[in-house]
Amino acid sequence: MLSFQELVTVIPVVLKAGNVPAIVGEAGIGKSALVAQVATDLKAKLFTTVVSLSEKGDLAIPVPPLSDSAFVKTSQYGELADVKYGYTHTLIEIIQWAERHPQQPIIWFLDEFNRGTQAVQSELMNLVLQRQINSLRLPDQVHLILAENPDATMAGFENSDYGVTVGDAAISDRTVRLVMRADVQDWLMWANDAGQIDPRVRRYIEENPGQLAPADHDADLYPTPRAWQRVSKNLQALAELPEKQQLTLRLDLLQGDLGMTVGQSFEAFLRRQKAGLSATDIYGGDELEDAVSHRFRTSEIDQQQSIMNNLIEQLDQYPLTDAEYATRFNTLLNMMPADGQYAVALKLAEKPNVLEEMYDAAQRLPTVKQLYDQLTAIGLNNDLD
């Protein structure tokens, strides 16, 4: 099985060899996004046909003879009609684009290939095998890519229950099967780069990587990468409603995409996040307010951890080499249990040069020295344990 990034590399190799990739993956795993990325990388024009929505005759249909020249007279077989074909608009667009841009590669993506009927698949067979529909040949610059859902005849998917039509052996023999898997790091990289996934969704997947596309899930609805993308968009739209309405509607919306189990888990995560404190709450004002200290002290340990991690992620803006920031950070750190303090110390240690810069500042700033000594003691205590 290959990850998104691995497939981005290997699909152009298959295309360059003159072969047809057949991407196999669960619904919602990101096959369409993958092909779009490949097209972008190759600077190719992308056309898509959803085979599951196609009917027999959609690609090409006979057109009755419209002129005398369409009839051919023979001495032994009588008068024959030279039947022409009308082609689907997508195919016409492909031909027109190829004529206007002869040097640009074209990708024709046949999505949900094995969810089309047997008749539709048979009609597409010449397209895949011979690169031809009736008398029309595809331009050399057109590359085909197929996407399929797994079926029970495929190795590793014996328990698959998708409503698919098992493809002809000739198709399997003329295509290169590439099985796609959900990869959390790939998805998070894409989510961060695209900037279109809600930060709360990203944080949840970072903390619960197994929930991106869990193998064990509810029988009805369950998370997929595409489902999480819908969740992100729903959260952004929901934010426009009054907060009371948001809280009333949110769980049902989440469960409509993620299923009961993960929907409830993500709702609990969102409620914990809402109770958090921002860096502005903690560092703003002339001193750390009693109300802020109380909220932090009474928060659950995982919420305290989330708040401190948030402060660490904003060290560029609120450096712990500043005397006041160091004082307030240390005040909150001392409110945490030992395990929480150790987790914070580890998180700080992961940041390049942070502890070194604190050590230098500690030589002249007593409050920074107090924090640095506290972090050192936390590390020593855990080493002794």
pLDDT band at 85 (very low <50, low <70, confident <90, very high): very low
Q: Maximum CA pair distance of the chain?
A: 110
pLDDT at 129: 84
Choice among 51-65, 153-167, 198-212, 292-306 with the minimum mean pLDDT = 153-167
Query: Which of 212, 240, 274 corresponds to the end of one domain?
Result: 274
Query: Which of 218, 246, 274 corresponds to the end of one domain?
Result: 274
Q: Say yes or no: 141 and 219 in one domain.
A: no
Q: Say yes or no: 82 and 199 in one domain.
A: no
Q: Say yes or no: 202 and 294 in one domain.
A: no
DSSP annotation of 218: -
Q: Say yes or no: 223 and 254 in one domain.
A: yes
Burial bucket for residue 291 (CB in 10 Å: 0-12, 13-18, 19+): exposed
Rounded CA gap, 327 and 287, in Å? Answer: 10
pLDDT tens string 340-365: 899 899 989 888 899 999 999 999 99
**Among 264, 194, 191, residue whose Cα is nearest residue 228:** 191
Using the predicted structure, report yes or no on whether residue 216 has a pLDDT greater than 80: no
Using the predicted structure, report yes or no on whether residue 252 has a pLDDT greater than 70: yes
Residue 107 main-chain phi, psi, to 5 deg: -110, 125
Rounded CA gap, 268 and 22, in Å? Answer: 39
pLDDT band at 337 (very low <50, low <70, confident <90, very high): very high
The predicted model gives 215-224 an average pLDDT of: 76
Choice among 165-174, 215-224, 259-268 with the minimum mean pLDDT = 165-174
**Among 325, 310, 314, residue whose Cα is nearest residue 358:** 325
The predicted model gives 127-146 an average pLDDT of: 87
Instruction: Tell me if 332 sits within 8 A of 282, measured CB to CB.
Output: yes
Q: Say yes or no: 26 and 120 in one domain.
A: yes
Query: 85 or 40: whose pLDDT is higher?
Result: 40
Q: Which helix (H) or strand (E) holds 61?
A: strand 60-63
Q: Say yes or no: 8 and 94 in one domain.
A: yes
Q: Say yes or no: 129 and 32 in one domain.
A: yes
Q: Say yes or no: 199 and 308 in one domain.
A: no
**Among 18, 53, 11, residue whose Cα is nearest residue 142:** 18
Q: Say yes or no: 309 and 348 in one domain.
A: yes
Q: What is the total count of domains within the chain?
A: 3
Query: Which of 256, 274, 292 corresponds to the end of one domain?
Result: 274
pLDDT band at 198 (very low <50, low <70, confident <90, very high): confident
| Tokens coding 358 | 């604190």
Query: Rounded mean pLDDT of the chain?
Result: 84
Residue 23 main-chain phi, psi, to 5 deg: -85, 125
pTM of the model: 0.62
Domain that holds residue 305: 279-384
